[in-house]
Amino acid sequence: MKSIVLSFVLTAFAVFTINAQSTHVKISTTMGDITVMLYDETPKHRDNFIKLVEDNFYNGTLFHRVINKFMIQAGDPNSKDAPAGAALGTGGPGYTIEAEFNEKYFHKKGALAAARQGDNVNPEKRSSGSQFYIAQGNVYTDHQLDMFEQRLNTTFSKEQRDAYCTVGGTPHLDGGYTVFGELIEGMDVLDAIAKVEVDARSRPKEDVKILSMEIIKK
């Protein structure tokens, strides 16, 4: 089975209004706590994530792929108690989810998005049923974003530009992966996890484990 990873194609601080009805999830890890808000405009991904959290699916899984200045990835059930050096990234709940792209949401730093298999085997860009990542990325200049637009044949909105030029993110992933939430607490934990030492497969040499997930607002 092919690993579910983010493609390295060359393909904010945008202020989103927090919906009072949105679901918040606390992710407790061995390096601290992160709280994410799930978007109501991506209901398939929202409801699936809630179900997995309520089923304790993520408890004991690892952040199995970590790339500083890019993202941290988790959600592979095969990572539970995985021995050192084991190849990870192929596990899931046995299903995928239809993509839910929304131009309102993009890969600013802290964006919560679904990992997936590459376009060559997944032209519909369907999401993994469980694997997710939190974007970290870099801060870009307007000139760099202009270059991205040319390479990707796209146009960034003012909100995207404002985000990528201030808090940063991973603009080359926009339109390729479903963004279904964002980090609202624990940005320092994101940065700390992103800086850990990793092996040749980008797996942390010392396990970074998800201890539990809890729905704290629904």
DSSP per-residue codes, 39-72: -TTSHHHHHHHHHHHHTTTTTT-BEEEEETTTEE
Residue 170 in any domain: the answer is yes
Residue 44 in any domain: the answer is yes
What is the tally of structural domains in the chain? Answer: 1
Q: What's the number of CA atoms in the CB half-sphere (13 Å) around residue 107? A: 29
Q: Which pLDDT score, from 0 to 100, does residue 5 have?
A: 52
Q: What is the pTM of this model?
A: 0.90
Q: Which pLDDT score, from 0 to 100, does residue 99 have?
A: 98
Residue 11 in any domain: the answer is no
Residue 31 in any domain: the answer is yes
Residue 188 in any domain: the answer is yes
The H or E element spanning position 73 is: strand 71-74
User: What's the rounded Cα separation, in Å, for the pair 131 and 148?
Assistant: 26
Residue 209 in any domain: the answer is yes
Residue 43 in any domain: the answer is yes
User: What CATH number does the domain containing 203 carry?
Assistant: 2.40.100.10
| 148 Cβ neighbours under 8 A, 6+ residues apart | 10, 11, 140, 154, 156, 171, 172
Q: Which pLDDT score, from 0 to 100, does residue 15 have?
A: 36
Counting as low any pLDDT under 70, the low residues of the chain are: 1-21, 218
Residue 7 in any domain: the answer is no
Write out the residue range of the structural domain in which residue 134 sits: 23-81+91-217
